[in-house]
């Protein structure tokens, strides 16, 4: 045996020992808050981001995953056990769902906005931008000339991104690109931030990110974006933050709806009163009606809707028709609320319509054994703010009724139209 | 050993070896011996085919080898069932295995010659007709083949049995526990009646969809049910475990509840494709495949390998043993002509022509003309080739009836001059029966001519023994005019139908190997006056050849001059079925059989008339005003016998671009500022292509450049990299806006073919092409630039030595933990 062979043998031995060594290290384990336990190998710990990478083998398949501390109960690392979060008490309530619905302190909300809100969504890196080359990405605050979606970014976002869900993610990415290009131009950047917030809010209902960008934009309360920021706080679990933001400010009429939803109906009516003497009274009255309706003050709601019909004026005939349509649909729906009690509705499939944002919206409701089994928007012309089309029917199914439906953010008109149409459809069944 | 003994010996040896070979092959295939295990399905099918042929030959040789009553022969193909006939004078019933078996089975059916009484079988067959008595097996085969043809045509190619497969929701599940070693996750299921069985594949998707409806990235997991006890389900993930799926099985996903379905809710619909596949236990186009002229002329015209050449070769090989058996036994056109002759043409003698004339060799010259023009790149075999003629005849004549009766007359497409021409041709073929029975098959059919030429290599033939008494019965019954006046055989015409043997009173006719010379009758007695070149000899040969050359040249010139003119500036370019080969090759390969029209749901495909002149006649084109191509169907390619439309799997077909939808911005309702309309967008989204999206038009802007609410309309815009040109959008626009509401005079979105608008590949993957196109599609930014905004945080990688690697002190006393 020559020298080379001996060296090779030694090397082999050494590597064998090394392999055994790593095997021994591989027995780290992670205990999750939900009781699941995984064994594997911790690859990297990032203290600042409060996360670590963990490689595990599941039925022979090796998978790597990054875990946030927040999901972890304890970790055994190099044979030593570290408790990261205490297990929730045995009351059986679910820590996760609590964070979705329950109240949070201002600090908690702040932290969510600063960490999650400031982060990029994980799909952003893999999203391909697909906007036309002709788009002028310097995007001045004021677009010149007629409507041109292939040139003006704002118009592109409105005309091409909003109505086409497949363009939502590339649209967000485009806004990030605009932010990058407009570096140093503070007025443009403010607009970009606000647009980014709006997209996260309207399209994705991603409240942490929406709040982050709205804050960065310094949105004002006399704009819908300001009210949206307040709504973000509310949805994230802290109503007082929303109230604090709106207090003492002149509020956009969209706030009426939000205030109503937050239960601050008197505040809402105060705002309505202010708008009652302006050109925007139609929107204000309709919003006030919706707000009153959502807290069950139906007679007052009808009064407000009736005011829209009585004053009978708007910017043009088209607007007038729409406002009147929404008002009378809502009055009808309220009158039908008793009839639309699903326990009184005969089995069957009912279809009816109501006026939405862009025209008539048709809903098909199926009732079986006193339960709403499906609610489906079968025909609509809503091109902006899609979320309500799936969100509101789901809420109706969940609550088995049409009284306690939260308007879907940024799509309240569509949402209301679905509720109205459902009420009429259900009432058909009660007639029989 | 004497000559007969030698023959018998050879026959027995051959019989045994064939049977042994068949058994060995069957064992090898059945038990997967040796390399057989690695064979693919096609090879195995061929293996079984060879086994079957060996078995057939072996049994046939057994029947001739152990038959002691008849004259010796190596190969004896007598299947005209002498068992039901009287016996020859002074003979005993044969001792052969098959004969004895048949006599046992058919007790009392044999005629009793002593008392001159016919048996029951013979009486029954006489009711059916003389030709049934003469050769019942042949008539039976013909019937079965015609029925098979009709079954394939009217049942298998009838697409409307397909029902969309609905995704059933089984219930909703919530995570309970996970076991790492087995990879099994446990869920609680909430359902009215949980109906899952162990081993079933189920699909999980979040009940609350927080992400927007973009189907490609939706979280969806496929699982196998491992255990099912009451409301507890144990599920094992199928396939690669993605990080997202890992979260689902470990219960860490942000989605708490999952909806369980029995099929993937994102699966591409495939009901038409699977329905056809399930029905097609033999290929629907089998008769077209075995018509040798179809594949032969196509291959010559397109100068390429046509896969059905293999089938043509197989049938020609079979016809070495059974010369021209295709015409006598299988051809559905022949059987249709037989039926027509029996029902109509045979009832009058007024138009009859003599048996001999200039026409007797037309088929050879027609064949020559077809092959010559194929060399010139013009495919005219579809006009004359047997199976395309009968398929198209049935299509244009009977398919409208079937559609009308089964689905409603308003769903029957209209007809054009091309239809009439084809029907005229079909009736012309049938009408030739007035001249002589089966005039077409005997004298004109070019497919038959291929077999006639193939007969030169025949292994068996009809032989007449010296016991012939010149009674002329055989000449009278022969349907193919294949018996010379001296009662011997015109070997190129004989189809081995064996009717002659069935009527021969002296059992003088036998069907044996070509070299058999036992007890043969003397040739040319009575004299036939036929030359070696056949009837009419040299004169006919020269005239015919001249005619065929002239015909081929004429057809080629006509085709080119009055043709598609693809090279011209503005050629007519029809939208072809998905998977069609490039247009020039398509015209050269499409046999115009019409099979694709029959298989196409909703008659998307219409036969072309003379839009491309003579060259494009009867080729399939998409008529999107009538209907759009179903996303779940790939039938046209599956039934195409020549590969002009490639047989694509559905996954390929859904990416094959047949054309591109073009919005007419001057008529489209939103573009023209007339009204809101998004029929095409809805249709495209519902079909799953998502190739039409919204754009806003006619929007007025305020001084800030913001849209004024309520102005303008959402209008359709076609995404070129997604549109496959199925035409569903055009159908919808036409049906609603043109036909129902009369607001437009033609559809405002129209599918167009042409360079850059369609994919026409001779080979290769459409899916890959689609992916390449997406990657090449212009992206406004170069790939290397980072679009990330957030500064990359310095990774706080912790060394193993750190006592608190997580930054979280385990001891509460030591630090104020953030948790």
The pLDDT mean for chain B works out to 83
Q: Is the Cβ–Cβ distance between B575 and B727 less than 8 Å?
A: yes
- By three-state DSSP, how is residue B152 classified? helix
**DSSP characters for B614-647?**
GGGTT-EEE-TTT----TT--HHHHH-SSSSB--
Determine the average pLDDT of the residues in B134-163: 93
Q: How confident is the model at residue B742 (pLDDT cuts 50, 70, 90)?
A: very high
Q: Given this structure, which CATH class describes domain A3-83?
A: mainly beta
A199 near B CB under 8 A: no
Topology classification of domain B169-268: Elongation Factor Tu (Ef-tu); domain 3 (2.40.30)
- CB B250 to CB A36 under 8 A? yes
> Two tokens at B565?
């003119």
Shortest Cα distance from B310 to chain A (angstroms)? 45
Q: Which residues contact B532 (CB under 8 A, 6 or more apart)?
A: none
pLDDT digits (tens, 9 = 90+) for B238-258: 877 777 778 788 877 766 778
Report residue B635: phi and psi, to 5°.
-65, -40
The rounded distance, in Å, linking the Cα atoms of B296 and B312 is 8
Q: Is the Cβ–Cβ distance between B241 and A58 less than 8 Å?
A: yes
Q: Given the structure tokens 């496959």, which residue do they identify?
A: B724
In this structure, the strands spanning A360-368 and B660-663 are unpaired
pLDDT digits (tens, 9 = 90+) for B265-313: 778 888 999 999 999 888 899 999 989 999 999 999 988 888 888 888 8
Higher-confidence residue: B197 or B97? B197
The rounded distance, in Å, linking the Cα atoms of B708 and B746 is 32
Q: What is the pLDDT of residue A237?
A: 86
Fold matches, B169-268 and B654-777: no
Q: Given the structure tokens 């497949």, which residue do they identify?
A: A166
CA angle A235, A236, A239 (to 5 degrees): 70
Query: Which CATH code for domain B654-777?
Result: 3.30.70
Q: Which pTM was predicted?
A: 0.80
Q: What is the pLDDT of residue A19?
A: 45
Nearest to A378 by CA among A406, A340, A350: A350
Cross-chain CB nearest to B789 (options A32, A155, A179)? A179
Q: Which residues contact A47 (CB under 8 A, 6 or more apart)?
A: B796, B798, B805, B806, B807
Residues in chain A: 432
The rounded distance, in Å, linking the Cα atoms of B781 and B787 is 9
Whether the ipTM is more than 0.90: the answer is no
What is the DSSP-derived secondary structure letter of residue B738?
Answer: I
Q: What is the pLDDT of residue A409?
A: 59
B782 near A CB under 8 A: no
Each residue's pLDDT expressed in tens, for chain A with a length of 432 residues: 455 455 555 555 555 444 444 444 458 888 888 888 888 888 888 877 778 888 888 877 888 888 878 788 888 888 888 888 777 655 444 444 334 445 788 888 898 898 888 888 878 888 888 888 888 998 888 888 888 888 889 999 988 898 888 888 899 999 999 999 999 889 999 999 999 999 998 888 888 999 999 999 999 998 889 999 999 999 888 889 999 988 888 888 888 888 888 888 888 898 898 888 888 888 899 889 888 887 778 888 889 999 888 888 887 777 888 888 888 888 888 887 776 777 778 888 888 888 877 678 888 888 888 788 888 887 776 666 566 777 788 888 888 877 777 666 556 778 888 888 888 888 887 765
Query: Which CATH code for domain A105-252?
Result: 1.25.40
What is the DSSP-derived secondary structure letter of residue B666?
Answer: T
In chain A, list all ranges with CATH 2.30.30: 3-83
Report residue B689: phi and psi, to 5°.
-85, -30
Higher-confidence residue: A288 or B346? A288
Q: What is the pLDDT of residue B215?
A: 40
Cross-chain CB nearest to B806 (options A37, A57, A82)? A82
Question: Residue B603 region, left (φ>0) first, then alpha (ψ -120 to 50), else beta?
Answer: left
The rounded distance, in Å, linking the Cα atoms of B17 and B34 is 22
* pLDDT of B787 above 50: no
In chain A, list all ranges with CATH 3.90.1010.20: 338-431
In chain A, list all ranges with CATH 1.25.40: 105-252
Run of H or E residues at B60? helix B41-65
B707 near A CB under 8 A: yes
Q: What is the pLDDT of residue A410?
A: 59
Run of H or E residues at B588? helix B583-589
Higher-confidence residue: A230 or B705? A230
- CB B797 to CB A49 under 8 A? no
Q: Mutation test of the interface with chain B: which of A81, A166, A181, A319, choosing the one with the most B Cβ atoms within 10 A?
A: A166
Q: What is the pLDDT of residue B431?
A: 93
Q: Please provide the distance, in angstroms rounded to a whole number, between the alpha carbons at the two ends of chain A.
A: 100
> Which option is the CATH number for A338-431: 1.10.40.30, 3.40.50.300, 3.90.1010.20, 2.70.98.60?
3.90.1010.20
The rounded distance, in Å, linking the Cα atoms of B293 and B308 is 10
- CB B696 to CB A204 under 8 A? no
Nearest to A403 by CA among A395, A411, A391: A395
B706 near A CB under 8 A: yes
Q: For residue A180, which residues of chain B lie inside 8 Å, CB to CB? A: 787, 789
Domain ranges of chain B: 169-268, 654-777
B408 near A CB under 8 A: no
Q: Which residues contact B238 (CB under 8 A, 6 or more apart)?
A: B201, B222, B223, B224
The CB density around residue B49, as the number of other CB atoms within 10 Å, is 11
Task: Count CA atoms within 13 Å of residue B114 on its CB side.
Answer: 3
């Amino acid at each position: 045996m020559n020298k080379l062979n001996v060296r090779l043998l030694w090397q082999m031995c050494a590597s064998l020992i090394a392999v055994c060594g790593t095997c021994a290290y591989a027995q780290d384990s992670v205990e999750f808050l939900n009781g699941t336990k995984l064994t594997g190998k911790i690859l990297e710990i990032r203290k600042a981001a409060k996360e670590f990478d963990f490689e595990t083998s599941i039925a022979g398949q090796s998978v790597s995953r990054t875990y946030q501390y927040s999901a972890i109960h304890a970790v055994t690392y190099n044979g030593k056990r570290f408790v990261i979060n205490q297990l929730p008490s045995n009351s059986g309530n679910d820590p996760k769902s609590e964070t979705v619905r329950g109240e949070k302190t201002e600090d908690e909300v702040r932290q969510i906005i600063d960490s999650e809100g400031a982060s990029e969504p994980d799909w952003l890196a893999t999203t391909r931008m697909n906007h036309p080359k002709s788009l002028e990405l310097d995007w001045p605050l004021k677009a010149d000339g007629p409507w041109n979606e292939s040139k003006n970014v704002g118009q592109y976002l409105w005309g091409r991104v909003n109505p086409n869900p497949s363009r939502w993610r590339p649209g967000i990415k485009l806004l990030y690109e605009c932010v990058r290009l407009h570096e140093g131009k503070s007025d443009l950047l403010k607009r970009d931030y606000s647009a980014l917030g709006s997209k996260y809010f309207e399209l994705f209902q991603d409240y942490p990110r929406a709040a982050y960008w709205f804050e960065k934009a310094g949105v004002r309360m006399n704009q819908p974006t300001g009210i949206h920021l307040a709504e973000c706080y509310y949805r994230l679990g802290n109503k007082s933050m929303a109230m604090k933001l709106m207090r003492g400010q002149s509020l956009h009429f969209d706030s009426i709806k939000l205030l109503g939803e937050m239960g601050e109906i008197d505040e809402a009516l105060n705002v309505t009163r202010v708008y009652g003497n302006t050109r925007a009274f139609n929107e204000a009255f309709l919003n006030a009606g919706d707000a009153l309706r959502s807290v069950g003050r139906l007679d007052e709601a009808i009064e407000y809707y009736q005011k829209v019909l009585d004053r009978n004026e708007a910017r043009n005939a088209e607007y007038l028709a729409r406002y009147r349509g929404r008002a009378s649909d809502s009055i009808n729906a309220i009158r039908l609320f008793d009839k639309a009690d699903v326990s009184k509705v005969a089995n069957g499939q009912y279809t009816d319509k109501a006026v939405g944002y862009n025209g008539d919206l048709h809903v098909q409701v199926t009732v079986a054994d006193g339960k709403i089994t499906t609610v489906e928007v079968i025909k609509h012309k809503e091109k902006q703010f899609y979320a309500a089309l799936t969100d509101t029917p789901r809420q109706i199914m969940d609550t088995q009724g049409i009284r306690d439906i939260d308007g879907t953010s940024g799509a309240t008109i569509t949402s209301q139209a679905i509720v109205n149409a459902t009420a009429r459809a259900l009432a058909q069944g009660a007639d029989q | 050993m004497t000559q007969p003994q030698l023959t018998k010996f050879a026959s027995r040896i051959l019989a045994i070896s064939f049977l042994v070979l068949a058994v060995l092959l069957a064992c090898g295939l059945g038990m997967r011996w040796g390399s057989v295990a690695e064979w693919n399905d096609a090879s195995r099918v061929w293996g079984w085919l060879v086994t079957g042929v060996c078995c057939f030959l072996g049994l046939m040789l057994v029947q001739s080898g152990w038959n002691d009553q008849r004259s010796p022969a190596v190969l004896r193909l007598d299947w005209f069932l002498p068992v039901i006939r009287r016996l020859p004078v002074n003979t005993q019933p044969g001792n052969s295995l098959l004969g004895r078996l048949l006599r046992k089975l058919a007790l009392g059916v044999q005629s009793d010659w002593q008392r001159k009484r016919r048996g029951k079988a013979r009486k029954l067959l006489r009711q059916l007709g003389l030709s049934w008595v003469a050769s019942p097996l042949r008539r039976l085969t013909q019937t079965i083949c015609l029925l098979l043809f009709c079954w394939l045509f009217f049942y298998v190619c009838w697409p409307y049995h397909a029902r969309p497969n609905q995704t059933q929701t089984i219930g909703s599940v919530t995570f309970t526990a996970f076991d790492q070693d087995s990879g099994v996750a446990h869920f609680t299921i909430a359902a009215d009646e949980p109906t899952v069985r162990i081993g079933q594949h189920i699909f999980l998707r979040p009940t609350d969809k927080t992400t927007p409806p973009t189907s490609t990235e939706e979280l969806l997991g496929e699982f196998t049910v491992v255990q099912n006890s009451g409301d507890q389900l144990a599920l094992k993930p199928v396939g690669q475990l993605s990080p997202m799926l890992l979260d689902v099985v470990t219960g860490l996903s942000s989605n708490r509840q999952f909806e369980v379905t029995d099929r993937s809710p994102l699966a591409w619909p495939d009901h038409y494709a699977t329905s056809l596949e399930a029905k097609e236990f033999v290929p629907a186009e089998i008769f077209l495949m075995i018509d040798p002229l179809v594949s032969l002329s196509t291959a010559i015209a397109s100068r390429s390998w046509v896969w059905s050449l293999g089938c043509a070769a197989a049938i020609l090989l079979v016809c070495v043993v059974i010369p021209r058996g295709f015409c006598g036994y299988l051809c559905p056109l022949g059987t249709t002509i037989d039926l027509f002759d029996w029902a109509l043409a045979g009832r009058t003698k007024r138009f009859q022509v003599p048996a001999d004339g200039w026409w007797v060799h037309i088929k050879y010259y027609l064949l020559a003309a077809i092959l010559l023009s194929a060399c010139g790149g013009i495919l005219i075999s579809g006009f004359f080739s047997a199976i395309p003629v009968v398929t198209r005849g049935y299509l244009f004549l009977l398919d409208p009836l079937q559609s009308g009766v089964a689905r409603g007359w308003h769903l029957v497409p209209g007809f054009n001059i091309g239809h009439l021409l084809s029907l005229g041709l079909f009736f012309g073929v049938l009408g030739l029966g007035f001249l002589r029975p089966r005039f077409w098959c005997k004298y004109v059919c070019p497919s038959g001519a291929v077999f006639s030429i193939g007969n030169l290599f025949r292994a068996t033939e009809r032989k007449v023994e010296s016991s012939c008494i010149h009674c002329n019965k055989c000449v009278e019954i022969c349907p193919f005019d294949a018996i010379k006046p001296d009662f011997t055989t015109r070997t190129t015409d004989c189809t081995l139908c064996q009717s002659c043997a069935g009527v021969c009173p002296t059992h003088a006719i036998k069907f044996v190997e070509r070299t058999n010379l036992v007890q043969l009758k003397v040739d040319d007695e009575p004299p036939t006056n036929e030359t070696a070149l056949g009837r009419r000899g040299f004169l006919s040969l020269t005239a015919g050849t001249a005619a065929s050359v002239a015909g081929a040249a004429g057809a080629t010139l006509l085709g080119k001059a009055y043709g598609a003119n693809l090279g011209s500036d503005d050629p007519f370019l029809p939208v072809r079925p998905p998977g069609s080969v490039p247009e020039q090759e398509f015209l050269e390969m499409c046999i115009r059989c019409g099979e694709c029209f029959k298989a196409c749901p909703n008659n998307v495909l219409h036969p072309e008339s003379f839009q491309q002149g003579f060259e494009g006649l009867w080729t399939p084109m998409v008529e999107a005003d009538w209907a759009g191509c179903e996303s779940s169907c790939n039938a046209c390619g599956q039934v195409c016998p020549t590969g002009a439309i490639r047989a694509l799997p559905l996954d390929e077909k859904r990416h094959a671009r047949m054309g591109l939808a073009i919005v007419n911005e001057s008529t489209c309702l939103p573009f023209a500022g007339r009204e809101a309309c998004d029929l095409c967008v809805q249709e495209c989204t519902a079909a799953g292509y998502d190739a039409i999206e919204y754009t806003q038009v006619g929007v007025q802007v305020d001084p800030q450049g913001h849209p004024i609410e309520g102005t303008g309309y959402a209008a359709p815009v076609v995404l070129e990299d997604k549109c496959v040109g199925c035409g569903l959008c055009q159908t919808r626009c036409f049906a609603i806006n043109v036909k129902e509401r009369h607001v437009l005079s033609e559809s405002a979105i129209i599918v167009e073919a042409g360079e850059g608008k369609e994919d026409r590949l001779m080979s290769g993957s459409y899916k890959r092409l689609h992916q390449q196109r997406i990657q090449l599609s212009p992206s406004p930014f170069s790939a290397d630039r980072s679009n990330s905004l957030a500064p990359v945080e310095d990774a706080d990688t912790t060394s193993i030595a750190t006592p608190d690697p997580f930054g979280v002190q385990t001891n509460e006393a030591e630090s104020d933990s953030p948790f």
